[in-house]
């Protein structure tokens, strides 16, 4: 994977929308059923909105009913980082981009086979590259 991406808040603010900055850099959360990708069905790759790190593919995306884009596995475990999140009086596992540290969402153990995981991501933290018809 490429080198770590480190920028100041001012640099992030200059390249991201206010919502993207709040979610990806300040660990915010978009409201359920409002994000660009929660009910999105194109084939391709989901990338970190901050650094372009390829994170998830449409092959592992599924409708979990939670209102956020959900995946049962990342493209590669090395592309994400996880840590305990004890905010709001609960313990969850936060998922971040391993390249730039952007907050992506949380992972839960109530997903489908084959992993049993639900990576519940914020659309504001993602961008998307459509799979071309000849791509594998």
116-122-127 Cα angle (round to 5): 105
Whether 120 is catalytic is yes
What is the rounded CA–CA span in Å between residue 57 and residue 78?
15
Residues in the chain: 136
User: Which of 48, 97, 100, 120 is the catalytic position?
Assistant: 120
* Residue 92 DSSP SS3: strand
Quick count: other Cβ atoms within 10 Å of Cβ 90? Answer: 7
Look up residue 23 and give its DSSP letter: I
List residues with catalytic annotation.
120
């Amino acid at each position: 994977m490429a080198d770590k991406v480190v920028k100041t808040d001012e640099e992030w603010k200059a390249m991201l929308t206010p919502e993207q900055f709040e979610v990806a850099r300040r660990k915010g959360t978009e409201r359920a059923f409002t994000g660009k990708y929660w009910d999105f069905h194109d084939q391709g790759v989901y990338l970190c909105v901050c650094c372009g790190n390829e994170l998830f593919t449409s092959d592992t995306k599924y409708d979990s009913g939670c209102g956020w884009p959900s995946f049962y596995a990342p493209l590669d475990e090395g592309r994400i980082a996880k840590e305990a999140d004890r905010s709001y009086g609960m313990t969850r596992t936060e998922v971040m981009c391993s390249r730039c540290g952007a907050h992506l969402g949380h992972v839960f153990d109530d997903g489908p086979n084959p992993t049993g995981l639900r990576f519940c991501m914020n659309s504001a933290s993602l961008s998307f590259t459509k799979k071309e018809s000849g791509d594998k």
